[in-house]
Amino acid sequence: MSDASAEHHAPPKLYHTLAEWFHLLTAPAEYAEEAAFYTKHLRDACDRPPKTVLELGSGGGNNASHMKAHFEMTLTDVSPGMLELSRSINPECEHIEGDMRSVRLGREFDAVFVHDAVVYMTTEDDLKAAIETAFVHCRRGGAALFAPDHVRDRFAPYTDHGGHDAEDGRGLRYLEWTWDPDPSDDTYTVDFAYLLRDADGSVRVEKDRHIEGVFSRATWLRLLTNAGFEEAECVAFDHSELEPGSYEVFVSSKP
């Protein structure tokens, strides 16, 4: 395998060797607006007010840091480093290591929430497995909400930048380049360049490639329906920091 191929298939550093820097790339405080949106739509889709919520692919716990005020949250993620980071801000939440395609907890929840970690489902089979996991863990009358970064119908390349400083002197700045080398398949590429400043003032550069899945709206709705969910719908979310009409989520209920 060439070096280029090895890099293409390498797991993202952000969730493994660089996990401790995650909150300096995307801070928990920035998630208040979207967490409120997800909370509202989970409540609206359930047949009674939900109390327990399972989050698949919870990452650094940014959404949970807001949603835990409304629900009893159980958080699962495939990365031990991200779970450790989430515990640092959500110590009252249950944390479980597990892959959203295969984890089975042997219990049901009022609702299941899957944020942008679902984009690491890069094949239709992967996405189908994640949706089935959500269905298995959702009680009858409960609901599931999936929030992918993109759907194929609206995908467009873009760049972004940002970052934060920590009280201990560390800091991170990033450049993000999202593009699609082959629009005919079900993936796109996100390349990151990170500038990492350690507490002693030294700065280093890391590059990181994320291969992410993107599926059409029709594919999403078909897979949700085939899994057994009903009233599956696509809901637009006009976030204050995003172009209107550029972001949508999928909400469905379990009959």
pLDDT digits (tens, 9 = 90+) for 156-169: 999 999 999 999 99
What is the identity of the amino acid at 240? S
> Which class does domain 13-152+216-253 fall in?
alpha beta
Q: Do domains 13-152+216-253 and 153-212 have the same CATH topology?
A: no
Instruction: Classify domain 153-212 by CATH number.
Output: 2.20.130.10
pLDDT digits (tens, 9 = 90+) for 44-53: 999 999 999 9
pTM, 2 dp: 0.93
- 20-36 as b/e, with b when 16 or more CB fall inside 10 Å? ebbbbbbbbeebeebbe
Domain ranges of the chain: 13-152+216-253, 153-212
Predicted pLDDT at 246? 66
Determine what percent of the chain is predicted with pLDDT higher than 70: 95
**167 Cβ contact partners less than 8 Å away, ≥ 6 residues apart:** none
